[in-house]
Chain A
């Protein structure tokens, strides 16, 4: 059974600083890894879908990498802005039991 760990649980970052956090998993037996941003009072919004080892995706100031051999994905935010305050979730689509496993998220707070 896949177990998805996200760290840190919570993060406070000064506006303008860059930051990153981690999603880790014990194996490469999955179809895809997704990153979502979940702002308070809104719905989770997809950021990236990653499938291959070495995948790198970018959307504006946010980027992500995937390393399936060592079992982690990083999400990077460059020059944090107040609107980046949200919970960032990663999720794995497993290919053994076809379950979808979400991590508990990293809660990012941007300090003015």
Chain B
């Protein structure tokens, strides 16, 4: 069974630009959540989508947004990039609720 796929794996953007990251969940999983990992901060929860609806949201500015499609694939968008947005962005899929999450390998975003 295919795992969670994130694209692209690496990305370099300039301050002020916007970026879209993609996450394809495990087949049959309807929940997709997104996390930001920066050195010293650990994994920070961004948001969770379930059946195309945002169910939960972490404490991030409105520049961070996401959506989920009918096939459960999800995208995360960051507008007006700042240097501090440089991080590893992970997505995870699950069957929902608090069931175990399966993580993708992440997208490493560098903002210059």
- Residue numbers of A with Cβ under 8 A of B are 31-32, 34, 36, 42-46, 49, 51, 89, 91, 93, 98-105
Contact = CB atoms under 8 A, between A and B. Distances in A.
Interface of B: 3-4, 33, 35, 40-45, 48, 55-56, 58, 90, 92, 97-106
State the main secondary structure of chain A at its contact with B.
Answer: strand
A102 B45 contact: yes
Contacts of A36: 103
A100 B41 contact: no
Contact of B56 (A32, A43, A98): A98
A43 B100 contact: no
Nearest to B44: A102
A91 B100 CA distance: 11
Given A43-B106, A98-B56, A100-B56, A89 B43 contact: yes
B45 A101 contact: yes
